[in-house]
Structure 1
Amino acid sequence: MLCLNIRPSVTGNELLNEITMNRRQLLQQLAWSVPALAMSKQLNAAASLIPGQSPFQPSWESLAAYKVPDWFRNAKFGMWAHWGPQCEPEAGDWYARNMYTEGSAQYKKHLEKYGHPSTFGFKDVIHTWKADQWNPEELVSLYKNAGARYFMAMANHHDNLDLFNSRYQPSWNSTKVGPMKDIIGGWAKAARKYDLPFGVSVHAAHAWRWYESAQGADKQGPFAGVPYDGKLTKADGKGLWWEGLDPQELYTQHHPLSRNSENPGSIHRQWHWGEGVYAPSNAYCENFYNRTIDLIDSYHPSFIYFDDTALPLWPVSDAGLRIAAHLYNKSIKEKGKLDAVVFGKILDEQQRKCMVWDIERGQSNQIEPLPWQTDTCIGTWHYHREIYEKKQYKNAQTVIHILCDVVSKNGNLMLNVPVRGNGTIDEQERSVVEEIGHWMAMNSEAIYDTRPWQVYGEGPAMEAAAPLSGQGFNEGKGKPFTAADIRFTTKNNSVYAIALGWPENNTLTISSLKATKTPSRVTLLATGERLSFTRDEEGLHVVMPQNRPELSYAFALKIS
């Protein structure tokens, strides 16, 4: 029998603290056993019943009382700056991990640009990152003009560098190394100047496992057997630029490797802290908790995105549960209502009640009963010069089609535009953003403040929709959208039909409206023109004008 170590005659606050402490200890000791998870649920339930405490307790049962705020449901479209030191080499995603993978494209790029990772590691890449042309106000203004209704900035990535003045990562943060700037502070100020809800993305919970490649060494060639810099300590920095800094506060690699760590792909199967991962220490989990609470309390984000299965470090730690409860309670205390949002991935039905489900690079294939979000990018998450050179960015048409599809299913779109290491975006990216803004200026009535209609859409793309896998990743795997694909939204007494292409014969037939009441008016939002129409057993037939509006690869009809 497992007994709780709780003293008699304690106050309500003391009892809550002791239950929470016992729950954390049990999770640490027995994280992978079924009995431990069952006990965790019992302890969570006990904690949530203690009177006189904050409305939300750090338990799934308590967090299930969450309700998504209307500002988020109405916003529909947000922009994201997924920007940090891994953008400095301009070589794409996961650079700080893959530069330690012998033979990978980023390893080869690193050798060419910086030298061998035994002598020039990612800590040294951070040192080269200056962000000398960064103008957050100009970029946030551009994003607002593009139609964004909220803005998010990356606060840290798996590379473990905090991009703010961090009390619990005091040496390895952007005010002490690299650009010597408070990146999150700058983004937050700009977002508030332009009246956009501001949020942060937090990815650093995975640094423990993600950086394991830095413990390795080449297996062949002139550096065979020479260790990379992942195990260096403070003592090794004498006489170097990082003298006095401890690389282990960044790399966190004084632990054994996870099972099959030498296989670069094994990390994906261990993302949920299972499948043989070497479990993070309690000190690591608590440091992550403290860093994130410091971020929330210092910069007051309205929302926080976690690049995690469910919540950070779950189920080996309840740190993520405590962070979510803290953010929700802080919102209630300061605003008088729950106005905050937490995003998580790969959620079960219970967890979807506790936060907003985020789908990475993908879309749901149905109208979801609860609000959700997809996050995607016009290129790679971190800036990749090769995509610019080959002109491979998503164009505005693709982004708009994704937006219309997502909104029709009760979702929001969060779009990342990769930022160069120097803090600018290139002219191709700027052109895409500006075109999105042009389309939104003509059609956004069918996007903002809407809700799903009776069906989300019609057309051939629905029949070829690709299933979700992992965090999402079904984007672009189905049939391309055509003029035969229509997506629906509704607001007040109107239905909006958004056609994802211009009909060849200048007549748009909407079969989903064949059984509805005959409308009194059909208006082309882009121009304000009233259009002629008829209705029969095949649907509503709308006669389109001879002159197409601009950007007619998607256009909205207001059906009143």
Structure 2
Amino acid sequence: MGPRGLVAELLLLLALGAAKSGPSAPLRRYTPDWPSLDSRPLPAWFDEAKFGVFVHWGVFSVPAWGSEWFWWHWKGTKLPQYQSFMKENYPPGFSYGDFGPQFTARFFHPDSWADLFKAAGAKYVVLTTKHHEGFTNWPSPVSWNWNSQDVGPHRDLVGELEAAVRKRNIRYGLYHSLLEWFHPLYLLDKKNGFKTQHFVHAKTMPELYDLVNRYKPDLIWSDGEWESPDTYWNSTGFLSWLYNDSPVKDTVVVNDRWGQNCSCHHGGYYNCQDKFKPETLPDHKWEMCTSIDKLSWGYRRNMVITDVADESTIISELVQTVSLGGNYLLNIGPTKDGLIVPIFQERLLAVGKWLSVSGEAIYASKPWRVQFEKNTTTVWYTSKGSAVYAIFLSWPKHGILSLKSPKSSSTTQVTMLGVQNNLKWSKDPDESLLVYLPQLPPSALPVQFAWTLKLTGVK
């Protein structure tokens, strides 16, 4: 073998070595079927984030009455109370399209929103780019005269919020409804038993590809899938492109609403259903989405204070969700002008204040071997490295907290997040860990409810 042959052989061996060792190895390709797509590992950022803010905003924010399903309740199921509302408040012949110009977003200041979300401790924000009404909050080229650039605000709302959120190192997610209640092409496909895909080719898919290429989202929160299977929506084709060739292929996270057969079975993480709350630790990453207004996702002018979830309920749900391995996505509905009403601001800031003390037990935590125990107070556990966190929701009698699950050792130390000194502890006859809580007046405690103990040297 001559020198050229030796060089060629050496180059071949080097190439083979590089292929085995990593960086230049060909990346795995995902095929457009669920076994392949479901095998994709979930990008780590999502599990570490734990808490996000959901924003439902659109033309439904103009009537701002009943719920964001206003158009459907008025013209779809024709509920009498919606018929009466329109009759009493709007002239005859007023159409849903007439609400469009009134969706002004006049006081929408994306930086103010993003500051609020950061102060709330949110690690990701999910904005409705398009709800089931079909109005797009960006200049979609396939939603002529029914988008925020042509009608109403005359602004790219999705793009403006993206810039503000990313400036603050918050991940940006886009909610997108696959269906549109009254789109003629969707109604035609529905009439054809979803054997045709006129709507998918003309509207759904062009919009999804446009959103990804234009805004490079960290998350796609799909919805509106329930009337037809994923094969109608071409979901697996889109997701294989998303995971293989899109500009966000390595970082993007998706949920499970990609067809009536997918929820809780296929996709990225599982939503399962709105306000999903499992009783035990699921074996798949999941998210609980819920709303501060218990009766609606969009803003309602007729909301009353008893419809609003209180601070302790929200924080308890966050704790429970994270303890069971989930993420907590908390929704607010801004007004048609782009204002976030004070009660929603107050609730978000309360979560942020609690997380500023207790976030160590939440962000990037993992479920512990025991998730919760009930004795005199409910205790939820999380863990991080060798530390175990016990979050108790109410203060125990006599200031002594009994923990059955952690096994103490000679190196066990107990502290309360937000309080400097170590706490005293002992073992009772049945081996429970008795923790003597700090004797402080309520005003001096670091938080008002859901206090967190950090345990080290326990099993």
State whether structure 2 residue 454 is matched by structure 1 residue 558. Answer: yes
State whether structure 2 residue 411 is matched by structure 1 residue 509. Answer: no
| TM-score, length of structure 2 as denominator length | 0.85
AA at the equivalent of 1:295:
L
Give 2:420's aligned residue. 528
Once the two structures are TM-superposed, the CA of residue 454 in structure 1 deviates from its matched residue by 0.3
- Counterpart of 2:252 (choices 340, 358, 361) is 340
State whether structure 2 residue 422 is matched by structure 1 residue 446. Answer: no
Q: Deviations over 1:266-306 (max 9, x none)?
A: xxxxxxxxxxx943731111121111111111111011011
**Contact conserved, 1:487 with 1:497, CA < 8 A, in 2?**
yes
Give 2:21's aligned residue. none
Q: Structure 1: which 5+ runs fail to align?
A: 1-51, 212-249, 259-276, 461-482
Once the two structures are TM-superposed, the CA of residue 125 in structure 1 deviates from its matched residue by 1.2
Once the two structures are TM-superposed, the CA of residue 524 in structure 1 deviates from its matched residue by 0.5
Q: Structure 1 pair 153/146, CA: closer, same or farther in 2 (3 Å)?
A: same
**Contact conserved, 1:509 with 1:541, CA < 8 A, in 2?**
yes
Give 1:492's aligned residue. 385
Once the two structures are TM-superposed, the CA of residue 313 in structure 1 deviates from its matched residue by 4.8
Once the two structures are TM-superposed, the CA of residue 527 in structure 1 deviates from its matched residue by 2.1
Once the two structures are TM-superposed, the CA of residue 174 in structure 1 deviates from its matched residue by 1.2
Q: Structure 1 pair 153/546, CA: closer, same or farther in 2 (3 Å)?
A: same
- Counterpart of 1:111 (choices 87, 99, 102) is 87
Q: Deviations over 1:225-262 (max 9, x none)?
A: xxxxxxxxxxxxxxxxxxxxxxxxx565764987xxxx
3-state SS of the aligned residue for 1:198?
strand
Query: What root-mean-square deviation, in Å, do the aligned CA atoms of Structure 1 and Structure 2 show?
Result: 2.6
Give 2:4's aligned residue. none
Q: Structure 1 pair 525/542, CA: closer, same or farther in 2 (3 Å)?
A: same
Equivalenced residue count is 420
Q: Structure 1 pair 87/441, CA: closer, same or farther in 2 (3 Å)?
A: same
State whether structure 2 residue 228 is matched by structure 1 residue 323. Answer: no
Give 2:137's aligned residue. 163
State whether structure 2 residue 270 is matched by structure 1 residue 357. Answer: yes
- Counterpart of 1:377 (choices 260, 271, 291) is 291
Once the two structures are TM-superposed, the CA of residue 318 in structure 1 deviates from its matched residue by 4.6
Q: Structure 1 pair 126/417, CA: closer, same or farther in 2 (3 Å)?
A: same
Give 1:154's aligned residue. 128
AA at the equivalent of 2:425:
F
Give 2:96's aligned residue. 122
Give 1:544's aligned residue. 437
Distance 2:404 2:80 in 1: 51
**Contact conserved, 1:64 with 1:353, CA < 8 A, in 2?**
yes
Give the share of equivalent positions with the same residue, in percent.
26
Distance 1:349 1:318 in 2: 12
**Contact conserved, 2:121 with 2:351, CA < 8 A, in 1?**
yes
Give 1:96's aligned residue. 71
Q: Structure 2: which 5+ runs fail to align?
A: 1-25
Distance 2:121 2:453 in 1: 19
Q: Structure 1 pair 348/407, CA: closer, same or farther in 2 (3 Å)?
A: farther
Runs of 4 or more above 6 Å deviation: 346-351
AA at the equivalent of 1:291:
E
Q: How does 1:61-72 map to 2 (within 5 A)?
A: 61-72=35-46
Distance 2:214 2:381 in 1: 41
Distance 1:534 1:349 in 2: 50
Distance 2:263 2:152 in 1: 41
3-state SS of the aligned residue for 2:255?
strand
AA at the equivalent of 1:104:
P
AA at the equivalent of 2:87:
L
**Contact conserved, 2:172 with 2:218, CA < 8 A, in 1?**
yes
Q: Structure 1 pair 152/55, CA: closer, same or farther in 2 (3 Å)?
A: same
Q: Deviations over 1:179-220 (max 9, x none)?
A: 2111111111111111111110011x222xx33xxxxxxxxx
3-state SS of the aligned residue for 2:107?
coil
Once the two structures are TM-superposed, the CA of residue 532 in structure 1 deviates from its matched residue by 1.0
Give 2:10's aligned residue. none
Once the two structures are TM-superposed, the CA of residue 442 in structure 1 deviates from its matched residue by 0.7
**Contact conserved, 2:142 with 2:206, CA < 8 A, in 1?**
yes
State whether structure 2 residue 216 is matched by structure 1 residue 300. Answer: yes
**Contact conserved, 1:198 with 1:302, CA < 8 A, in 2?**
yes
Once the two structures are TM-superposed, the CA of residue 369 in structure 1 deviates from its matched residue by 2.0
**Contact conserved, 1:286 with 1:319, CA < 8 A, in 2?**
no
| TM-score, length of structure 1 as denominator length | 0.70
**Higher mean C-alpha deviation, range 290-299 or range 170-179:** 170-179
Distance 2:119 2:230 in 1: 41
**Contact conserved, 1:146 with 1:433, CA < 8 A, in 2?**
yes
Give 1:425's aligned residue. 340
Give 2:205's aligned residue. 289
Once the two structures are TM-superposed, the CA of residue 105 in structure 1 deviates from its matched residue by 2.7
State whether structure 2 residue 352 is matched by structure 1 residue 437. Answer: yes
Once the two structures are TM-superposed, the CA of residue 167 in structure 1 deviates from its matched residue by 1.6
Q: Structure 1 pair 519/79, CA: closer, same or farther in 2 (3 Å)?
A: farther
AA at the equivalent of 2:334:
V
**Contact conserved, 2:218 with 2:251, CA < 8 A, in 1?**
yes
AA at the equivalent of 1:193:
K
**Higher mean C-alpha deviation, range 93-102 or range 289-298:** 93-102
Once the two structures are TM-superposed, the CA of residue 57 in structure 1 deviates from its matched residue by 2.3
**Contact conserved, 1:309 with 1:344, CA < 8 A, in 2?**
no
Q: Structure 1 pair 411/254, CA: closer, same or farther in 2 (3 Å)?
A: closer
**Contact conserved, 1:202 with 1:306, CA < 8 A, in 2?**
yes
Q: Structure 1 pair 519/426, CA: closer, same or farther in 2 (3 Å)?
A: farther
State whether structure 2 residue 312 is matched by structure 1 residue 397. Answer: yes
Distance 1:115 1:74 in 2: 51
**Contact conserved, 1:494 with 1:558, CA < 8 A, in 2?**
yes
3-state SS of the aligned residue for 2:271?
strand
- Counterpart of 2:55 (choices 81, 85, 88) is 81
- Counterpart of 2:282 (choices 363, 368, 375) is 368
**Contact conserved, 2:408 with 2:433, CA < 8 A, in 1?**
no
Q: Structure 1 pair 391/420, CA: closer, same or farther in 2 (3 Å)?
A: farther
Q: Deviations over 1:31-67 (max 9, x none)?
A: xxxxxxxxxxxxxxxxxxxxx9971222112202211
Distance 1:254 1:308 in 2: 14
Q: Structure 1 pair 376/458, CA: closer, same or farther in 2 (3 Å)?
A: same
State whether structure 2 residue 109 is matched by structure 1 residue 135. Answer: yes
**Contact conserved, 1:522 with 1:558, CA < 8 A, in 2?**
yes
**Contact conserved, 1:60 with 1:350, CA < 8 A, in 2?**
no
Give 1:413's aligned residue. 328
AA at the equivalent of 1:394:
A
